[in-house]
């Protein structure tokens, strides 16, 4: 699969918009899922689209065509962080209405409340681990950090969630 992606990247760098379109189709859902994990639903598709536009402009600078997947993930992740910085003070997740389907609040935790207690990088690491099934090395390449840092962020996120669920936070 990496060879096919690398081939499409080479064609897209030569100006083939259809090749880039195929790259977008292949990566779109994963990029949106990553953005949703960091941002929530509201801006996820916009962040993914912004990242893809940046990737199109900067594609000639990508030195290793086989690294496209990690490269585009990192771009989208950074767009998410930029949106979070702009969003500060606008609306918090605590002000969001409670879901109507929560029938037993003692035994059910709202996923977004859990994610809201985590730092953006911790949310991204958990998403890429549990949803996308990436290895620590792949996550590190996607986020621009080391595999050891990935493990540390995942451990801290899990500890924070455990404290929250025990009512310690």
pLDDT of residue 130: 85
Q: Total structural domains in the chain? A: 1
Q: Tens digit of pLDDT per residue, the chain (169 long)?
A: 788 999 999 999 999 999 999 999 999 999 999 999 888 887 899 999 999 999 999 999 999 999 999 999 999 999 999 988 887 654 444 544 444 444 454 544 567 777 788 999 999 999 898 888 889 999 999 899 999 999 999 999 999 988 888 887 6
Nearest to 107 by CA among 165, 169, 160: 165
Burial of 38-49, coded b for 16+ CB within 10 Å and e otherwise, reads: bbbeebbeebbb
List the structure tokens of 60.
Answer: 């000639």
> In terms of residue numbers, what domain contains 14?
2-165
Q: How many CB atoms lie within 10 A of CB 73?
A: 26
The structure's pTM equals 0.67
**Residue 38 maps to which CATH number?**
1.20.140.160
Distance from chain centroid for Cα 107: 28
Tell me the pLDDT tens digit for each residue of 32-76.
999 998 888 878 999 999 999 999 999 999 999 999 999 999 999
């Amino acid at each position: 699969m990496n060879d096919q992606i690398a081939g499409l990247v080479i064609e897209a760098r030569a100006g083939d918009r259809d090749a880039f379109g195929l790259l977008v189709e292949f990566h779109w859902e994963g990029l949106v899922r990553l953005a949703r994990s960091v941002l929530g639903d509201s801006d996820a598709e916009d962040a993914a689209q912004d990242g893809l536009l940046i990737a199109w402009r900067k594609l000639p600078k990508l030195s290793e065509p086989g690294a496209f997947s990690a490269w585009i993930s990192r771009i989208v992740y950074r767009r998410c962080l930029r949106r979070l910085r702009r969003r500060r003070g606008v609306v918090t997740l605590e002000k969001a209405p409670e879901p109507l389907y929560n029938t037993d609040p003692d035994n059910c935790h709202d996923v977004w409340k859990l994610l809201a207690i985590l730092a953006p990088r911790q949310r991204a690491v958990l998403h890429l681990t549990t949803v996308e099934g990436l290895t620590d090395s792949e996550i590190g390449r996607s986020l621009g950090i080391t595999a050891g840092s990935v493990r540390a962020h995942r451990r801290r996120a899990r500890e924070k969630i455990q404290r929250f669920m025990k009512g310690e936070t």
